[in-house]
Structure 1
Amino acid sequence: MQSPDTPYVNIAAYKFVSFDDTAEKRPQFLAFCQQHNLRGTVILSPEGINLFLAGLRADIDAFLAWLRADARFADLIVKESYSEKQPFTRMLVKLKAEIITMKHPLIKPELGRAPFVEPKDLKRWLDQGHDDEGRPVVMVDTRNGFEVDVGTFDNTVDYRISKFTEFPKVIEDHKADFEGKTVVTFCTGGIRCEKAAIHMQNIGYDHVYQLEGGILKYFEDVGGAHYQGDCFVFDYRTALSPELKETQTAQCFACRAVVTPREQLSPDYVPGKSCPHCAGKQQAAQEASSAAA
């Protein structure tokens, strides 16, 4: 819940829809956001829109009213969280081929979504240990390995991918592992798991769902049941708790590794310079350079 101590509203949203005038719209998006002191990133693509923005309540509401005046985005669903300060340093509007890169251009979610499960229904499935037809439920994390390390669902299948473009092959290679089971794909806000579920349908998975709204919507609707840890987010907050509050987790400026509160106690953790994940490598590189000299 927003309070005077957390004046900034952080929104995340996406929609797959035909959007063929992105070049024309880009300067309009940038001008409106700058006029309303918003910061973050908006991605415009022929397949739709993806955005992460933050600002004061009145400015966020003005942006959403402006955006939803376009019939293509009238039903845009937004996930909100709150922060004490602006989590982004600048305002970017980018033109890209895909709103989330998968390199599978035949996937067109607007032509037919994969089935989805609402957070409250997923919790009920996980509570009872099976879906409504009695099949075991398997959670598949579509995020990168470092994101998973911050937190994920209990007993999640995690393929330790380093980028989303690796997912199509790895899930195809392991198709036999999911025979007779219901698979629920998930990610931070829903965009990756929606594409993932459609790809899985295309290659013959019989019972696959995406978690509607991703982890952030799950936190908003049902809290942290069946989830361990926090959720990595791509801004200065680094991670949000199941209560959608900023945590003490940080990210190393040098190597981009996630640094837990315990790891931040290490002498190797120097904000902006090093952390326990990279300090040894930096020292070895320096010693090698000195020896070569």
Structure 2
Amino acid sequence: MSEALPITVAALYRFAAFADPASMREPLFAKCEELGIKGTLLLAREGLNGTIAGTDNAIGAIIDHLRALPDCADLEVKYSYAAKMPFIRLKVRVKQEIVTMGEPDIDPRASVGRYVSPEDWNALIADPDTVVIDTRNDYETAIGTFEGAVDPHTASFRDFPAWFREHRDDLLEGRKKVAMFCTGGIRCEKSTSFLRAEGVDEVYHLKGGILKYLETVPEEESRWQGECFVFDERVAVGHGLKQGDYTLCRACRMPLDADDRQSPDFAEGVSCPHCIGDRDEAQRARYAERQKQVELARKRGVGHVGVKPPGR
């Protein structure tokens, strides 16, 4: 626990075989609620994924609980810290996939790329024989990525397989290594498994994802540029996992920098330069009323459930 930041945030995942994930939902929800934990946990037949927050003791207790689930002893967890609770509510949901790619034959438990530690990542991506691919979505890559990385400009992780198949020849021309990265590592488990299934032999991914890199690699040695989008109220983090400078447009969910917030198209909770042309007056009127209720709730010192956390 950080002495200055009392809330512990845990980003976690584990690919495991859950025979009946629906039966796990209520007990897991009750345990989290008992511990005062908020955030989102996803359950599927292929495993567990989520980001949650609470006191240091509460997070320690729930991680112990999760590691006692079938085949979850090696649950992957990355910790960071926040000054206040970065989630509004607790959600435990049952899904078809814990990270949705839409390729039913891909199984990261059977085959994935080679893990590369943050300490060795710079050397790999500097190798001219390596193509570096950012597997995240467009609103995430817009605020930060690794130097020289290819941005697929995908709106959803479901788009990644089609994008790779379309651009495969250009991506691999003159290069035989593919290095991929994502926020915490889970999307790379599937994307590297997918590339292996597509016949690409030398596939690598950043162990622990961008979050582990920013935590581990000194800023003066870093090849990361910008900030890293996170799926909670912090919106983005930088080196050392310190909270970044971005906020979120509550109308379109896009991260906003200082220039965006100075734009005449920005109205808190209502519009921003990214969505001003995509919403009609009726929609903006609804957003304005919602923002009014948010501000009233804030004055009363309570949360407003109409404010959704970041992400799409």
Same fold (TM over 0.5): yes
Of stretches 49-58 and 264-273 in structure 1, the one that deviates more from structure 2 is: 264-273
Unaligned runs of 5+ in 2: 283-312
The 5-angstrom pairing of residues 35-184 of structure 1 reads: 35-126=34-125, 129-130=126-127, 136-177=129-170, 178-179=172-173, 180-184=175-179
Match status 1:216 vs 2:215: no
For residues 183 and 141 of structure 2, the distance between their equivalents in structure 1, rounded to whole angstroms, comes to 10
For residues 35 and 218 of structure 2, the distance between their equivalents in structure 1, rounded to whole angstroms, comes to 32
Report Cα offsets for 1:103-139 as digits up to 9, x if no partner: 111111112332221111112334xx32xxxx62221
SS in 2 for 1:13: strand
Match status 1:195 vs 2:190: yes
| Letter of the structure 2 residue corresponding to residue 273 of structure 1 | V
Contact 2:111–2:196 under 8 Å retained in 1:
no
For residues 90 and 100 of structure 1, the distance between their equivalents in structure 2, rounded to whole angstroms, comes to 20
SS in 2 for 1:14: strand
For residues 105 and 64 of structure 2, the distance between their equivalents in structure 1, rounded to whole angstroms, comes to 32
Q: Give the C-alpha shift of residue 245 in structure 1.
A: 1.0
Q: 1:206 corresponds to which residue?
A: 201
Q: Give the C-alpha shift of residue 211 in structure 1.
A: 1.3
Of stretches 52-61 and 109-118 in structure 1, the one that deviates more from structure 2 is: 109-118
For residues 220 and 138 of structure 1, the distance between their equivalents in structure 2, rounded to whole angstroms, comes to 24
Report Cα offsets for 1:46-68 as digits up to 9, x if no partner: 00100110000010011111222
Unaligned runs of 5+ in 1: 288-293
SS in 2 for 1:72: coil
Q: Give the C-alpha shift of residue 223 in structure 1.
A: 4.1
Of stretches 254-263 and 89-98 in structure 1, the one that deviates more from structure 2 is: 254-263
Report Cα offsets for 1:193-219 as digits up to 9, x if no partner: 111111111111121112111111111
Q: Give the C-alpha shift of residue 181 in structure 1.
A: 3.0
Query: Measured at CA, do residues 261 and 223 of structure 1 come closer, stay the same or move farther in structure 2, by a change above 3 Å?
Result: farther
Q: Give the C-alpha shift of residue 12 in structure 1.
A: 0.5
| Letter of the structure 1 residue corresponding to residue 166 of structure 2 | D
Contact 1:8–1:57 under 8 Å retained in 2:
yes
For residues 13 and 167 of structure 1, the distance between their equivalents in structure 2, rounded to whole angstroms, comes to 22
Q: Give the C-alpha shift of residue 77 in structure 1.
A: 2.0
Q: Give the C-alpha shift of residue 23 in structure 1.
A: 1.6
